[in-house]
A and B are shown apart, each in its own frame.
With several copies, the nearest count.
Chain A
Amino acid sequence: MTDTPRYTASEILAILSSRQLKDGQVVFAGVGTPLLAATLAQRLRCPGLTILFEGGVVGAFVEPGKLPPSTNDQRCTKRANMVLGSADVLLLLQRGYVDIGFMGGAQIDQFGNLNSSFIGDPAAPKTRLPGTGGGNDISSLTNMIVAMKHEKRRFVEHVDFITSPGFIRGGTSRAESGLPAGGMFRVITELAVFGFDAETRRMKVLALNPGVSRENVQDNTGFDLVFDEQIAITAPPTEHELETLRMLDPERLFTA
Chain B
Amino acid sequence: MLNAQVEPYERLRENLSQRDRSLREKVMTLEEAASFVQDGMKVGIGGSTMSRTPMAMIWELVRQRRKNLSCSRAITSTDGDILFGSGVSDHIITSWFAQGILWGLSKVMRRHVEQGLARYEEWSHMAVGMRFRAGGMGVPFLPIRSMLGSGVMDQRPEAKPIDCPFTGEKLLLVPALNPDVALIHVQRCDAYGNAQIDGLQFMDIDLALAANRVILTTERIVSNDQIRRAPDQTKIPFFCVDAVVEVPYGSAPHECFGLYEPMLKHMEAYVGQVNSDPVEGMRDYLERYFYAPKSWNEYLSLIGMEEVLEASQRGRSIYND
A residues within 8 Å of B by Cβ?
A: 23-26, 31-32, 48-50, 54-59, 69-70, 72-87, 90-92, 94-97, 99, 115, 117-118, 122, 125-137, 140-141, 161-165, 168, 173-174, 177-181, 253
Contact = CB atoms under 8 A, between A and B. Distances in A.
Contacts of B130: 87
A99 B97 CA distance: 27
A70 B126 contact: no
A96 B16 contact: yes
B125 A54 contact: yes
Given A91-B136, A95-B137, A132-B122, A57 B96 contact: no
Contact of A26 (B122, B129, B239): B239
A36 to B, nearest CB: 12
Contacts of B50: 69-70, 72-73
A97 B16 contact: yes
Contacts of A50: 23, 238-239
B318 A77 contact: yes
A82 B231 CA distance: 4
A94 B239 contact: no
A165 B147 CA distance: 8
Instruction: Please provide the 9 A-B residue pairs with the shortest distance between their CB atoms, ordered closest to farther.
Output: A87-B129, A177-B149, A24-B22, A178-B170, A178-B148, A133-B96, A82-B234, A95-B138, A96-B16
A214 to B, nearest CB: 32
A74 B274 CA distance: 26
Contacts of B155: 122
11 contacts: A58-B231, A73-B50, A74-B257, A75-B318, A79-B228, A80-B231, A90-B125, A95-B16, A136-B95, A137-B125, A177-B170
Given A81-B231, A81-B238, A97-B239, A178 B145 contact: yes
For this complex, into which size category does the number of interface residues on chain B fall? 35 or more
A176 to B, nearest CB: 8
B200 A57 contact: yes
A12 B225 CA distance: 33
Contact of A69 (B100, B150, B151, B209): B100
Given A87-B133, A91-B137, A59 B95 contact: no
Contact of B101 (A24, A69, A94): A69
Interface in B122-170: 122, 124-130, 132-133, 136-139, 144-152, 155, 161, 169-170
Contact of A95 (B94, B203, B209): B209
Nearest to B196: A82
B95 A74 contact: no
Nearest to B259: A74
Interface string B234-260: 110111100000000000000101100
Nearest to A32: B101
